[in-house]
Amino acid sequence: MTGGVPERLAEVLRRLGPFGDCWVAFSGGTDSTALLHAAATRPDHAPGTLRAIHIDHGLHPDSPLWAEHCRRICHTLGVPLVVRCLNLEPIPGESLEATAREARYRALAEVLRPGDLMLTAHNQDDQAETLLLALLRGSGVHGLAAMPREAGLGRGRLVRPLLDVPRATLEKYVRAFGLSWIEDPSNASDRMDRNYLRNGVVPLLRARWPGFSATLSRSAAHCAEAAQLVDGLASELMDVCAGAHPGTLGIRALMALERSRCKVVLRLWLRRRGFALPDRRHLARILDEVLPARADADPLVAWFGCEVRRYRDDLFALDPLPPSPGALTIGRAPSGTPPVLELPPGLGWLQWEDTSDGSELAPTVRFGLTEQTCRPRPTSRQRTLKNLFQEAGIPRWLRPYVPLVFSGDILIAVAGVCGCHDASRDQTTHEVPQWHGHPWESLGLFRDQAQ
């Protein structure tokens, strides 16, 4: 009658050991209805509070009715329900399906506290479909591993306890208990690749090979093991190839690797940095254009949400650089507090101790100037900004964003680099303002304060 669903759930939860609250991602469909019912009717499965969350994507006119259906089911089962409504904004270059998926997982992550679990009802057939889609995209072992059984999610863990359970078993389960569920009409549309496989291709495969879902799921498990081995090797090589700045890779060390090993290091590095992985063409360009480029060159390889650049012997992976800002004039903070100068959106703020006697003009922050000079110490000679940036190791492609602080027409500081000695004002050497909140803070390129 139960098809082993409660037993499978109990086995997975026992293996996971102690955890906090147990959440079920509850769409109201067949699979998540079976999962929620199995968890709710066997409370010994989960030592913490069982909770459910329903994500209303707002993509169908009946979605409010689906949320109300989920409320009724949860009320009947005595399970607290949280409903999250999404306001999806299309992302250029990304399908609506992918945008909805990413927003859904962000919403699921937000409710988790440390130690909590989020259970999803992905089943064996879902896993087989995911593997087929990965094959059609030409994925490597990580893509062919399909969906992991367990992964980090926010402050908790994402668990898929039903990956070994066929969809037909879950359908029998809900019918056996007389449970009601939602039929999303979009599942019948072959416009989505997954639906095309599910509705047209998979029935043909199953007619010829009845156990194909289990077989493909087994292949995905083999690929997951291979992916773990690849990641282990890549992690060791990443340590060897660490660059001079946090989060960077050393180019000479990368070029000493075999091409295949260099590829796995780059992929793991980008994944750990939180970027979408490049396709074959972009990865080849990193290997063939960026790594062997001259040390004074500025090669760039960019794809959705990521830019890979080099400076000297370091390889950087960055969010796309924003438009270069123009001049900006900002007054000091109220007297008696450390002055804080807000910079253009996305560039953070400047802060330093106010040592002025009030006679100085309100500072002006400018960007992108190249002809200015600065004497960083009384005993040093005048240096151009280009010289200062080179000595400080600031990449050319970041220099347009470095705040240049003026008092009137006098350059008094280069944020994160140096203060400027002012012979006209009692031989004062201005301090280096602290530059915080900018996208490149974690790279360790800029000084925090005067030394």
Distance CA 421, CA 350 (A): 19
Structure tokens at 329: 């004039």
Position 143 scores a pLDDT of 93
Q: What domains are there in the chain, each with its CATH number?
A: 5-220 (3.40.50.620), 241-318 (1.20.59.20), 328-443 (no CATH)
Distance CA 266, CA 70 (A): 43
Find the Cα–Cα–Cα–Cα dihedral 275, 124, 35, 17, rounded to 10°.
Answer: -70
Structure tokens at 169: 């078993």
Position 448 scores a pLDDT of 64
pLDDT digits (tens, 9 = 90+) for 59-106: 888 899 999 999 999 999 999 999 999 888 766 666 777 788 889 999
Position 335 scores a pLDDT of 44
Position 344 scores a pLDDT of 86
Distance CA 84, CA 72 (A): 16
Cα 396 from chain centre = 26
Position 426 scores a pLDDT of 53
Position 343 scores a pLDDT of 86
Position 451 scores a pLDDT of 41
Each residue's pLDDT, cut to its tens digit, for the chain (451 residues) gives 677 898 889 889 888 888 899 999 999 999 999 999 999 987 555 557 899 999 998 888 889 999 999 999 999 999 999 999 988 876 666 677 778 888 999 999 999 999 999 999 999 999 999 999 999 999 999 999 999 999 999 999 999 999 999 999 999 999 999 999 999 888 888 888 999 999 999 999 999 999 999 999 999 999 999 999 999 999 999 999 999 999 999 999 999 999 999 999 999 999 999 999 999 999 999 999 999 998 888 999 999 899 999 999 999 999 999 888 866 665 554 344 667 778 888 899 888 665 555 555 567 888 988 788 898 887 778 889 999 999 999 999 999 999 998 888 888 889 989 888 876 655 556 778 889 999 999 999 997 644 4
pLDDT digits (tens, 9 = 90+) for 407-439: 888 888 899 898 888 766 555 567 788 899 999
The percent of the chain in helix, strand and coil, each rounded to the nearest 5, is: 40, 20, 45
Distance CA 76, CA 91 (A): 38
Position 113 scores a pLDDT of 95
Q: Is the CB of residue 323 less than 8 Å from the CB of residue 339?
A: no
What is the 3-class SS of 419-437, one letter each residue? ECEECCCCCEECCCCEEEC
Using only the alpha carbons of the chain, give its radius of gyration: 28
Residue type, 144: L
pLDDT digits (tens, 9 = 90+) for 120-132: 999 999 999 999 9
Distance CA 126, CA 121 (A): 9
